[in-house]
Structure 1
Amino acid sequence: MPKDANGVELNSGDNVSVVKDLKVKGASATLKRGTTVKNIKLSSKDNEIEARVDKFGTIVLKTEFLKKI
């Protein structure tokens, strides 16, 4: 099971918050700290999730930079 930055287990459909400003590959903008990501999907890798983010589309995020809300 993937875990967030605080060690809390993440499930599909959870809402998470970004804990650090992240540069997104292929995009000119930065994903800011505190951004809420809704309705995440678990990926095949334990330390990654897929999510749809406004202005970025669907991206893959590492769970170490996320906090469950």
Structure 2
Amino acid sequence: MAKDSNGTELNAGDSVTVIKDLKVKGASSTIKRGTTIKNIKLTSKDGEIECKINGVGTVVLKCEFLKKI
């Protein structure tokens, strides 16, 4: 079960906000704090989600850096 930084349960299709600047491994870009991500997908690992971000592509993020909207 995936939970955000506040302990709220995340479901597939939810929208979340990034609460901390995150460097993307293998790319020279950074996901800025406050970025809104829509339509997340849950992965087989607890505590991780998959999403698409403009300019970066598809990435896997840890839920501890996200807040449900």
TM score, norm. by length of structure 2: 0.98
Q: Which one-letter code corresponds to 1:29 in the other structure?
A: S
Partner of 1:57: 57
Partner of 1:10: 10
Q: Distance in 2 between matches of 1:49 and 1:2?
A: 8
1:11-38 superposed Cα distances (whole Å, 9 cap, x missing partner): 0000000000000001111100000010
1:9-65 superposed Cα distances (whole Å, 9 cap, x missing partner): 000000000000000001111100000010000000011000000001100000000
Unaligned runs of 5+ in 2: none
Partner of 1:30: 30
Q: Which one-letter code corresponds to 1:58 in the other structure?
A: T
Q: Distance in 2 between matches of 1:35 and 1:55?
A: 12
Partner of 1:41: 41
Unaligned runs of 5+ in 1: none
The percentage of aligned residue pairs carrying the same residue is 71
Moved beyond 3 Å, runs of 4+: none
